[in-house]
Amino acid sequence: MIIWINGAFGAGKTQTAYELHKRAEHSFVYDPENVGYFIRKNTPRSTHTSDFQQNPMWRDFNYAMLKHLDETYDGIIIVPMTVVNPQYFEEIIGRLRGDGVEIIHYALCATEETLMKRLRGRGERKNSWPIQQIKRCVAALSDERFGHHLQTDHSSIMDNVEHIAALSNIQLLPDQRNSLKRSFDRVITQVKHIRF
């Protein structure tokens, strides 16, 4: 089973994915963004696009990797990635579903104000790329194609995890960490996903 966690930048996709991974036995987090960095590192700069999702190779590669993982890994594959272009959504998620892959999609939704506050809280500048994408992402994700919609303005990461687990019939392992350890784990996840 693949669980795709979609949402605008600042919605909590990555933190939710890694917290779900910690509490879901036999799970693996697959990050499609890494494919974009691989393509950029291994192709001439003149061929790069402003958004690596625009490169058909990014969509093809992620489809192929997820199909491979679904066929070879006997566990839950968790995918945190913003995809709001309907064509790109169909080329990866729609295509996987067409192949019979069980893929459950969740969109973590929040207001523009909440997303702005979260992004500024993690150090994004006023004109950063993630902040510039807020309006586009919020508008696109409201489409029913991107359901299940989970409103996250007033929910915690753990709320998101428990909601996704309940809707996906996943039995969560008990969380034995204290609040300090949980906070530390989230900082480590955030630091590991800073892109330079």
Look up residue 101 and give its two tokens.
């892959």
Q: At a CB cut-off of 8 Å and minimum separation 6, what does 40 contact?
A: 48, 52
Per-residue pLDDT tens over the stretch 71-88:
999 999 999 999 999 999
Q: What is the pLDDT of residue 180?
A: 85
The residue with tokens 């506050």 is 117
The residue with tokens 């034995």 is 176
Per DSSP, the three-state class of 92 is: helix
Q: What is the pLDDT of residue 142?
A: 94
Q: What is the pLDDT of residue 183?
A: 78
pLDDT tens, N- to C-terminus, the chain (196 residues): 999 999 999 999 999 999 999 999 999 999 999 999 999 999 999 999 889 999 999 999 999 999 999 999 999 999 999 999 999 999 999 999 999 999 999 999 999 999 999 999 888 998 898 999 999 999 999 999 998 999 999 999 999 999 999 999 999 999 888 888 877 777 777 777 665 5
Cα separation, 78 vs 90, whole angstroms: 18
Q: What is the pLDDT of residue 194?
A: 67
Domains (range + CATH), the chain: 2-192 (3.40.50.300)
92-117 burial: b if 16+ Cβ within 10 Å, else e: bbbbbeeeebebbbbbbbbeeebbbe
Q: Is 80 buried (19+), middle (13-18) or exposed (0-12) by CB count in 10 A?
A: buried
Contact of 35 with 61, CB cutoff 8 Å: yes
